[in-house]
Amino acid sequence: MTEVSQRPRTAESAAAVVTEFFDRYRAHDVDGMTDLCSINADFSYVPVEIWGKQRVLRGDGKVCTVGKPLWTGLIASFPNLSNTVHSVTSNDEGDVVAQVDVEGTQQLAWGLIAPAGRHYREPHLFIFHVGADLLIDSIAAYWNDAGISQQLGHNEVD
Amino acid sequence: MTMTPTQTVQAFLDAFARHDVDAAIAVVDPQVSVTVHPFGLESSGADVLRGVLADLVLGFPDLMITVSRVITTGDVVTALFKAEGTQAAGYAGAINQEKHLDIDQAWRFVTGGGLITEVTAYWCQAQLYRRLAVKRYDEIAIA
């Protein structure tokens, strides 16, 4: 009989999962980031919206179908992409809130922003929920996308 | 009896939602640290926060605040809400074109002794300007 040992979810263990998530993000280990998430984990990058003539594409969906391609594309466009975690607070229900600066130097087009070799650094607030199985089942993030555009030299409000 | 962190922030949000800036500031420490990332604002003092709230209420007199989540993690309380309204005065450099605004925001509060001691606000200024029909970041006041 196989015995499975499972750490209990506490505020500390939930925070540790999120800290590991940002360590893997800093190492550009997108598969590793995804491995920390449940298979159906929700994803919402609130500022992401691309206005077309008849529809608006938003950064909402699932980690596996929206989050992973976004992270992969971001790392491709900003090969030195990095993050600095300023604070992580959590509770025993698995809620984790992290203040994180994300930064990088643009080498490829990102959305409508042409590459000009410029660097950005922008404060983000990430809201996670870590399930009882110590897998992330929800990620949401807020930041000022105008700040990124302006730092990269793109002054049009698209 | 001292309010819990959640009660303190809920009192702030309730007052803000009914446009009662004085009541909101009543649960704020006079030396509160105020960071509003979309404005590049990093300052301190209740009057600074009062200005941020008052500008929003003045710019959008029908402002509606709809709180979707309040997350308490120790002394830190994070509120997720949508701010909606119709522009009636200049706001954040954008001239009034009577456009409707709806912006999802996250405000992170630190509390102590029944008061808010730190506020950090996150929202996307690109979404805000897009809704207010601003075309360029370097020409915000030109429609």
**Contact between chains at B124 and A123 (C-beta distance less than 8 A):** no
pLDDT at residue number B2: 86
pLDDT at B138 over 90: no
- Per-residue pLDDT tens for A106-123? 999 998 899 999 999 999
Q: Which domains does chain A possess?
A: 11-151 (3.10.450.50)
Which of B70, B137, B139 is best to mutate for the A interface (most A CBs within 10 A)? B137
Of the two residues A4 and B17, the one the predictor is more confident about is: B17
**B140 pLDDT band (50/70/90 cuts)?**
confident
What percent of chain A has pLDDT above 90? Answer: 88
Residue B18: domain span: 5-139
Q: What is the mean pLDDT of chain B?
A: 96
Which of A146-150, B46-50, B92-96 has the lowest average pLDDT? B92-96
| DSSP strand pairing (A56-62 vs A82-90) | unpaired
Q: Find the closest chain B residue to A100 by CA distance.
A: B122
Tens-digit pLDDT profile for residues B106-115 = 999 999 999 9
Contact residues, chain A, for B120 at CB < 8 Å: 99, 125
DSSP notation for A37-57: EEEEEEEEEEEEEEE-SS-EE
Whether the Cβ atoms of residue B6 and residue B77 lie closer than 8 Å to each other: yes
- Give the SS3 label for residue A4: coil
Identify the bridge partners of residue A104 per DSSP, sorted by sequence position: A120
The backbone region for A74, taken as left when phi is positive above 0, alpha when psi lies in -120 to 50, beta otherwise, is: alpha
Distance between CA B126 and CA B75 in Å, rounded?
A: 31
Q: In A18-131, at which residue ranges do the beta strands (DSSP E only) sit?
A: 37-51, 56-62, 82-90, 95-105, 119-130
- Is residue B123 within 8 Å of A144, Cβ to Cβ? yes
Cβ atoms of A15 and A90 within 8 Å: the answer is: yes
Q: Pseudo-torsion of CA A153, A79, A136, A89, nearest 10°?
A: -60
Cβ(A96)–Cβ(A130) below 8 Å: yes
User: Mean per-residue pLDDT for B63-84?
Assistant: 98
Distance from C-alpha of B139 to C-alpha of A109, rounded to nearest angstrom: 24
**Is A144 in Cβ contact with B71 (below 8 Å)?**
no
Q: What is the CATH number of the domain that holds B99?
A: 3.10.450.50
Name residue A18's amino acid. V
Residue of B37, B71, B137 lying closest to A157 (CB–CB): B137
Which pLDDT value is given to residue A51?
A: 83
User: What is the torsional sign of CA A28, A32, A37, A42?
Assistant: positive
Q: What is the pLDDT of residues A79-96, one digit of tens each?
A: 999 999 999 999 999 999
Find residues 7-36 of chain A whose CB sits inside 8 Å of chain B. Answer: 11
pLDDT tens digits, B6-26: 999 999 999 999 999 999 999
Q: Is residue B92 scored above 70 in pLDDT?
A: yes
Mean pLDDT of A138-148: 97
Q: Where are the beta strands (DSSP E) in B45-99?
A: 64-73, 76-86
pTM above 0.80, yes or no: yes
Residue A2 has pLDDT above 80, yes or no: no
Mean pLDDT over A114-141 rounds to 97
A145 to B124: CB separation less than 8 angstroms, yes or no: yes
B125 and A CB contact within 8 Å: yes
**Could you say which of A146, A155, A158 has the minimum Cβ distance to residue B124?**
A146
Q: What is the model's pLDDT at position B70?
A: 98
For chain B, how many structural domains are there in total?
Answer: 1
- Mean of the pLDDT values across residues B121-132? 96
